[in-house]
Structures are given as C-alpha cells and as structure tokens.
Amino acid sequence: MLIEIKDSPFEPYQRLLEYQSDANFAGKYGATAVFVGSMREFNQGDDVTAMSLEHYPGMTEKYLQKISEEADTKWEILDSLIVHRVGEMLPNDPIVLVAVWSAHRAEAFDASRYLMEELKSRAPFWKKESLVEKSRWVEKNT
C-alpha cells in the first residue's frame, strides 16, 4: 500500500510498471485495476489552458492512507497504489493514478472505484483553472 504526492509531472504507466516490478505479490494476483485521471483542455464550456492543484500537506496524505486502509479492510486485495499530482499542470498531464491488485477481478474493480470516489470526496485537493482571460477555482467535483 503506497500513496505518493508528486509536485512535478509523472508518467503513470511507467510508475505502475516500476511499482509492480518491485512488489512482493508476483504470481498471486490475477487482476490489476488501473485508473488514470488526466487534465482536460475544457471544463464547463470553457477552454482551460492550465491548472494549479493545491493540497493540505499532511492531511492529504493522511486521508489517502485512510481510504487505502478502508479499501484493504472492505475487500480482499493484495495491494494498492495512489499517485496524485499537485502544482502547476497543463492539459493532457496525468493528475491521478489508482491501481489495485487482487486475485480476482471483482475486488480490484470495486476497490479501485472506491478509492477514486473517496479520494474525490474526502482528500483535500483543490483545482484552480486558468482560462484564456481569467482563472477560477473549481467549485465542485463531477
């Protein structure tokens, strides 16, 4: 179980490969569910040129750890990984990687969905979008 906050761009598929190569569950997993969230170039009908992602150092990590432990308790999973960007980013940049490994697919699907939904509603991150002529805080998650 690992959580990481990155203040510079990361490549989710490379990170996934590295993590899985170092993991101690080789041969035990039959399922890996992977979610990657990326920055769009549009939101609410406007062109978005850049985005700034703020977090609450300490509390963000605490809640990502907490939801990872909850998923581990609720489902029979082998491991989970959450990587989330903060700082300045551009359209197409990866924002978040969630991966869950389990023996069978149902647990990996369900636990990864849980991690993403709980991350979005409980982990303290805030997005501020730059539009062509102004910037605005994103007010609610969709």
Partner 1 sequence: MSNTVITIKFFASLREDLGQGEAEISEADAKTVLDAWNGATNNMAMPENTLMAVNMDYVEGSHPVKAGDEVAFFPPVTGG
Residues that bind partner 1 (CB under 8 A): 37, 53-56, 58-59, 62, 84, 95-96, 116, 119-128, 137-141
Query: Taking the complex as a whole, how short is the minimal distance between the CB of residue 24 and partner 1, in angstroms?
Result: 28
104 or 122: CB nearest partner 1? 122
Q: At what angle do helices 59-74 and 105-122 cross, to 10 degrees?
A: 150
Collapsing DSSP to helix, strand or coil, 41 comes out as: coil
Query: Taking the complex as a whole, how short is the minimal distance between the CB of residue 142 and partner 1, in angstroms?
Result: 9
Query: Taking the complex as a whole, how short is the minimal distance between the CB of residue 119 and partner 1, in angstroms?
Result: 5
* 140 DSSP assignment: S
**Taking Cα atoms as reference points, which of 119, 130, 125, 120 lies closest to residue 41?**
130
Read off the tokens for 50.
């850049």
24 or 121: CB nearest partner 1? 121
